[in-house]
Structure 1
């Protein structure tokens, strides 16, 4: 069973981030994780620059970096029971299939945590938070291509690198763009580029209360009334993920269940690196 446990753990780890995942575009800091804690240092202030200096000696200052130890979140799946009689009666390896289901569940939760952590809820110079401004759709305003242009402009106002831009559209905002211009939408989805943004569409984006712009807790489901999923955008170089330990907990041949009971645990962290270069696009209320 120890051999099988390692095989099942390998299934969980292998290809955990599938092709096309927006988490493949962020900075991977897993190498800095020790004992499921990410050890970083916040860089101190950059030096001032003098123009046509004639005063010597040139002023000097020391840079003070601030150390941070960030514990990784613990993601644990609920237990699955594979009863012995079920395994014998099915014509496929039910245990293997169930393990892959746990991998998918852990991945989806990691996506939700990352998107939630990347999404700011306060509009600032380096953390744009915009509302949609398109045509009315009942009580809300649709997302428009102009909204994406405005969002991109906000990034360029602080000299963002065009090669760094990533946009994760909510399914509703993607549908809004399709309704606005289906031909352009088809081209965008084919290229996976929307203006200068590398484009993704995901339901893992966070939910906001559109009446007050407040970000809801992770996994809050939209209700199409006041709770709507937002789209997020970020600079690749300004957000990170980090993977820690994986583990499997297994009760083999449980006498009460007459089968194997197991679940998985993964340590994970995703957040902005400096609290800059992240954005939210929130559905606006139509008067």
Structure 2
């Protein structure tokens, strides 16, 4: 081995050792804080654990960042941190504490007793009020596997595993949010489930949204007796752009308050912008099924709801990986995640609405 190659090899080993110690310290400190211990003790324990278990764990597992418990814990912690773009979802009450084996058990109330006025007939009738268990299974969201080769872990100057985890987490969060707003949005117009059509000027394909449409939404919520607090409106980007183009008041509010993704508060609604709202057929005002591909006659809608009658819950987070040492052809690990979660209205009626773009010729 030439002197230059020897020096390069030594520098590489030193760099790997420093990175391994830093990773083990960071992972140990994180776990320590999670259980209420001092982070310094966790940092030391992380390196002691890696040293003690080095022969028991797969080669490089504790230093390459594929220790299942650590990555699962980090995923759970990060997944429950509210990103600004999904501030509307953070308004919904969490039912995580009621999740058992990725199922939530609700009680289906059997009804109310009859009320008699000035009754003179006895004995009184007996009416049984039978309640029932209503289990709801959480949906399972799975990411496709990502390959991470030993060469990448050896040569890269950044934490590849942390980067992979972050991208899987963000992809899961976005898909769960899209499914959540799709579940909240009404399927179509029904009693106490309004689907409002826009009434603005035509852009050649659809009618634009106006403040008059927001006022119609407010009237509908008032008529349904929905409490004035915790009314949330999630605007699609088309409707945001319509209001920015035509309504000076909205333009003045936009970008002033971006706390947790909130655009402003108007007409009693806390207004958020999100480009993952569901598509509706413009002519019929009917929501497309989950996963259906839109066409030229469909457009994204805005969704309104009363946060007090919505629920969300996250269940198990499962980290999967196969070791590179078991892949003689490619020398790569495969990594992916399962995340269980759900978001639904607690009441089908008097809790939500949609604003759908009307077709240009309507």
Does the pair score TM above 0.5? Answer: yes
What secondary structure, in the 3-state scheme, does the structure 1 residue paired with 2:78 have?
coil
User: Given the superposition, is the C-alpha separation of residues 242 and 49 from structure 1 closer, same or farther in structure 2, using an over 3 Å criterion?
Assistant: same
Instruction: Check the 8 A contact 2:108/2:133 in 1, yes or no.
Output: yes
- Say yes or no: does 1:12 pair with 2:83: no
* Bigger radius of gyration among the two: 2
What is the rounded CA distance, in whole Å, between the counterparts of 1:186 and 1:218 in structure 2?
Answer: 35
Instruction: Check the 8 A contact 1:247/1:264 in 2, yes or no.
Output: yes
User: Given the superposition, is the C-alpha separation of residues 279 and 172 from structure 1 closer, same or farther in structure 2, using an over 3 Å criterion?
Assistant: same
User: Given the superposition, is the C-alpha separation of residues 7 and 159 from structure 1 closer, same or farther in structure 2, using an over 3 Å criterion?
Assistant: same
What secondary structure, in the 3-state scheme, does the structure 2 residue paired with 1:126 have?
coil
Partner of 1:264: 337
What is the rounded CA distance, in whole Å, between the counterparts of 2:139 and 2:107 in structure 1?
Answer: 19
- Say yes or no: does 1:131 pair with 2:203: no
Structure 2, unaligned stretches of length 5 or more?
1-60, 258-263
User: Given the superposition, is the C-alpha separation of residues 166 and 81 from structure 1 closer, same or farther in structure 2, using an over 3 Å criterion?
Assistant: same
What secondary structure, in the 3-state scheme, does the structure 2 residue paired with 1:162 have?
coil
Q: Equivalent of 2:300, from 220, 229, 250?
A: 229
* Correspondence list, 1:22-33, <5 A: 22-33=88-99
Instruction: Check the 8 A contact 2:210/2:247 in 1, yes or no.
Output: no
Normalised by the length of structure 1, the TM-score is: 0.90
- Say yes or no: does 1:167 pair with 2:233: yes
Structure 1, unaligned stretches of length 5 or more?
none
**Whose relative contact order is higher, 1 or 2, with alpha carbons under 8 Å and at least 6 apart?**
1
What is the rounded CA distance, in whole Å, between the counterparts of 1:164 and 1:60 in structure 2?
Answer: 40
Aligned residues: 284
| Alpha-carbon displacement from aligned partner over 1:80-113 (angstroms, at most 9, x marks no partner) | 0111212222211011011000000000010011
Structure 1, 177-186 or 260-269: larger mean CA deviation = 177-186
More helix by share: 2
Q: How well do the aligned residues superpose, as a CA RMSD in angstroms? A: 2.2
| Alpha-carbon displacement from aligned partner over 1:199-219 (angstroms, at most 9, x marks no partner) | 111112111121332322335
Shift of residue 114, structure 1, vs aligned partner: 0.4
Structure 1, 205-214 or 225-234: larger mean CA deviation = 205-214
* Correspondence list, 1:56-95, <5 A: 61-95=127-161
